[in-house]
Chain A
Amino acid sequence: EILLTQSPATLSLSPGERATLSCRASQSVSSNLAWYQQKPGQAPRLLIYEVSKRATGIPARFRGSGSGTDFTLTISSLEPEDFAVYYCQQRTSSPPSLTFGGGTQVEIK
């Protein structure tokens, strides 16, 4: 089973600052990596899929990058609505499985 480790657990930043979130897989996941944002009381929202493709309606300030086992979600300039929990997700085909990382809380400093 592939494990996804997200770091840091909490990121304290101010609006306008750049946020860099990490997701590390225990083995290569190829391009099968997605990122989600979740706010309290809401369902997760897909931000990025296939490592770097922005989902419909997602602002350009959200950028996904990486390959193999190391992936990054960058928010270029934090807006007030970006303070939330972020999860990465991977999919493997052998054996078929999907896994979420433990999440990174981006909080207002």
Chain B
Amino acid sequence: EVQLVESGGGLVKPGGSLRLSCAASGFSFSSYSMNWVRQAPGKGLEWISSISPGSRYIYYADSVRGRFTISRDNAQNSLYLQMNSLRGEDTALYFCARPVDMATIGFEYWGQGTLVTVSS
């Protein structure tokens, strides 16, 4: 069974940092690109970052580029999101997500999310 479990969320002051983790199991983690998607309270979905299986290709949404860094450890079956210079508008539920396959749009598996609250 495919499982994605996020952790690391919490309350942080504006300008602060946080590192999110996503533990993957039930599939060959090193064979899939992985993604972070967030959802602000009561709002829609926002894709924020993708990383290819070998970490060669990394992409960010404009809203987080230069502040957030995605990474992965295939040996540990883990995905990470280092978030720096956090702002109030970064307050959201952060999901990690796995696509159907390498070539296909469509996030077939999602974690339950970890909540990040940026407030003084």
Interface residues of A (CB under 8 A from B): 1, 32-34, 36, 38, 43-46, 48-50, 55-56, 87, 89-91, 96-103
List B residues at the A interface (Cβ < 8 Å): 35, 37, 44-47, 50, 57, 59, 61-62, 95, 100, 104-108, 110-113
Interface majority SS on A: helix, strand, loop or mixed?
strand
State whether A46 and B62 are in contact (beta carbons under 8 Å apart), knowing that A100-B46, A100-B47 are contacts in the complex.
no
Partner of A97, one of B45, B57, B59: B59
The distance in angstroms between the C-alpha atoms of A65 and B104, with both chains bound, is 16
A to B CB contacts below 8 Å, 21 in the list: A1-B62, A34-B105, A34-B106, A36-B45, A43-B95, A43-B111, A44-B45, A46-B106, A46-B107, A46-B108, A49-B106, A49-B108, A50-B106, A55-B100, A55-B106, A89-B45, A96-B50, A96-B59, A100-B37, A100-B44, A100-B45
